[in-house]
Amino acid sequence: MASLRDIKTRITSTQKTKQITKAMHMVSASKLSKAEEFAKAFDPYSNKIKEVVTSIAGSGQDADHPMLQTREVKKTAYFVIASDRGLAGAFNSGVLRKVYRTIQDRHQSNDEFAVIVVGRMARDFFQKRGIPILHEITGLSDQPNFADVKDLTSETVQLFIDGEIDELVIFYNHFVSAISQEVTSKKLLPLTDLQDEASGSSKSMYEYEPNQQEILNVLLPQYAESLIFGALLDSKASEHAARMTAMQNATDNADELISDLSLQYNRARQAAITQEITEIVSGAAALE
C-alpha cells in the first residue's frame, strides 16, 4: 500500500498537471475563435474565384487547360495536412492512418506516389516509414497567411501542370464543430468537376478581357492554390478544436484522479490514526 507521502506527492503532481491542461484548454479555445474567423473571411474570395473559373470552364467555348484534362494516372501525389505538435487527441493519427491505408491499398511501389506534407507530425510519420516526401513545410503559425504557403501551393500545382504527377489528392481534418472533426480526402487535380458544376448552376454574365483562355491560364492555378489554402485553414480550426477537447478531457480526468487519490489519502490517514490509537491503548493496558 502506498504511503501517505507517496499519495500526497501524486495529488500535488496531478494538481499541477491539471493547471497546465486547463490553461492549454483556454488558449486553444481562443485560437479556435480566431481560426474560425480566418476561415470565414477567406470564403468570399474562394467562392468568387470558383464562380468565375466554373463559368469559363462550362461556357462551351474552346477554353482549355491541362488542369481540366484527365490523363492516365502513373503517379499520384498526396497532400497531407497535420500539425507540428501533439496533445490534440486523434487529430493527427486519424488523418495519417487514412493516408497510409490508402497508399497501401492503391500502390505497389514508391515510384507510383509521393507525399507533400504540412506539419512536423506528418513529416516524421512518413520519414519513419520510408515514404518519399516531395515537399514539406513545418512551423506554420496558428493563423497562417497565404504568403506562408504560397511557394508550397504553387510548386504543388506546377507539378501537375508539368506532368510530374497525374493526380493530386488532399487529406485533412474538416472542421464540423468544436467537438467534431472529420477526416476528409478530396481529389483536387485534375479539376474534372467544374463542367458538371457549371451545368447545374446559374450562369453569371461576364465579359472577358483579353480572352477566356488567357484568364483561365491565370485563374486555374490560383483556384487550385485557394483550395489547398482553404483546406489548411479548415484543418487549423480543427486542430485547435481537437486540442481544446483533448485538454478538457485531460482536466476532467485529473479532477477524477485527484478525487480518488484524496479519498485514498483520507482512508490511509484514518487507518494510521486508528493504528496509533490502538497501539496507545494496548500499551496502556499492558502497564496495568
pLDDT, tens digit, 9 for 90 and up, residues 195-241? 555 555 555 566 767 777 787 888 888 999 999 999 999 999 999 99
In a domain, 264, yes or no: no
- Does the CA dihedral 121-125-126-130 come out positive or negative? positive
Q: Could you report the per-residue pLDDT of 21-43, keeping only the tens digit for each? A: 999 999 999 999 999 998 888 98
Domain that holds residue 186: 26-245
pLDDT of 274 above 90: no
In a domain, 14, yes or no: no
In a domain, 55, yes or no: yes
Residue type, 81: I
Residues 6+ apart with CB under 8 A from 142: 31, 34, 35, 236, 240
Q: What is the pLDDT of residue 114?
A: 92
In a domain, 280, yes or no: no
Q: Which of 15, 20, 4, 8 is nearest to 246 (CA)?
A: 20
- Does the CA dihedral 38-40-43-44 come out positive or negative? negative
In a domain, 4, yes or no: no
Alpha-carbon span 147 to 31, nearest angstrom = 20
Q: What is the pLDDT of residue 60?
A: 53
In a domain, 175, yes or no: yes
In a domain, 252, yes or no: no
Q: How confident is the model at residue 61 (pLDDT cuts 50, 70, 90)?
A: low
Strand 76-81 to strand 133-137: parallel, antiparallel, or no bridges (unpaired)? Answer: unpaired
Q: What is the pLDDT of residue 48?
A: 86
In a domain, 275, yes or no: no
Q: What is the pLDDT of residue 205?
A: 64
**CATH code for the domain in which residue 46 is found:** 3.40.1380.10
How many structural domains are present in the chain? 1
